[in-house]
Amino acid sequence: MARIVGIAGSLRAGSYNASLLRAATGLMPAGSTLEVGTIRGIPLYDGDVEAAEGVPPAVVTLRDQIATADGVLIVSPEYNNSMPGVLKNAIDWLSRQSANGDHTFGNRAFAVIGASPGGFGTILAQNAWLPVLRTLGTRQWFGGRLMVSRAGSVFNEAGELVDEKIAAQLAKFLDGFVAFTKS
């Protein structure tokens, strides 16, 4: 059984990426689970705050979720042709070593998907994540890409995935990623 932690890279209530992550929880292969983590509540990284107060509780919670997962699914929007700052900030906090010296990312399976209202999906954001994830020592899955474009027509007003073609692509992506986490 594979256990994946998914992280949406937007804080917006109506985020297409949060909707894509929720849809993924229902499309996981049999015998695997997708637990939704959150970046909500993670402050801007400040080494002085870390030195004085330690790692914030929201970071510790997400770090603990990741530490026991077989893989991490980043569901990233694209802001100004790159990754969103709020998600990069969370990754920066998570990259700090825990009190017992464990590293959150080392050799853990990672995959990146995303949704955008535009016509090009999130290709530039996904490409921007590659050097960051490489630097952190993750095992990146390259067996598939999922860049949902024109997301306004893929989700309904309630944030539910209504496009059967995208749902099938997402299910296939998840099958491949779960298999990769077991290798």
pLDDT band for position 98 (cuts 50, 70, 90): low
Which residue, 34, 70, 36, 5, is CA-closest to 171?
A: 34
Residue 34 has pLDDT above 80, yes or no: yes
**pLDDT tens digit string along 123-152?**
999 999 999 999 999 999 998 899 999 999
pLDDT band for position 51 (cuts 50, 70, 90): very high
Residue 173 has pLDDT above 90, yes or no: yes
Domain limits, the chain: 2-181
Output the pTM of the full model.
Answer: 0.95
DSSP 8-state assignment for residue 72: E
DSSP 8-state assignment for residue 45: P
Least confident range of 12-21, 49-58, 101-110, 165-174: 101-110
Residue 99 has pLDDT above 80, yes or no: no
Q: Which CATH number does the domain 2-181 belong to among 3.40.50.620, 3.40.50.360, 3.40.50.300, 3.40.50.2300?
A: 3.40.50.360
Assess contact for 28 and 21: CB atoms under 8 A: no
Mean pLDDT (whole number) for 18-42: 98
CA distance 96 to 164: 40
Q: Residue 3: its pLDDT value, please? A: 98
Question: Nearest 10 degrees: CA dihedral of 174, 117, 6, 181?
Answer: 30
Q: Residue 100: its pLDDT value, please? A: 59
In the block, tokens 């050799």 appear at 107
Q: Residue 19: its pLDDT value, please? A: 98
Long-range contacts of 136-140 (CB under 8 A, 24+ apart): 136/91, 136/95, 136/105, 136/106, 137/103, 137/105, 137/106, 137/107, 138/72, 138/105, 138/106, 138/107, 138/108, 138/109, 138/110, 139/107, 139/108, 139/109, 139/110, 139/180, 140/109, 140/110, 140/111
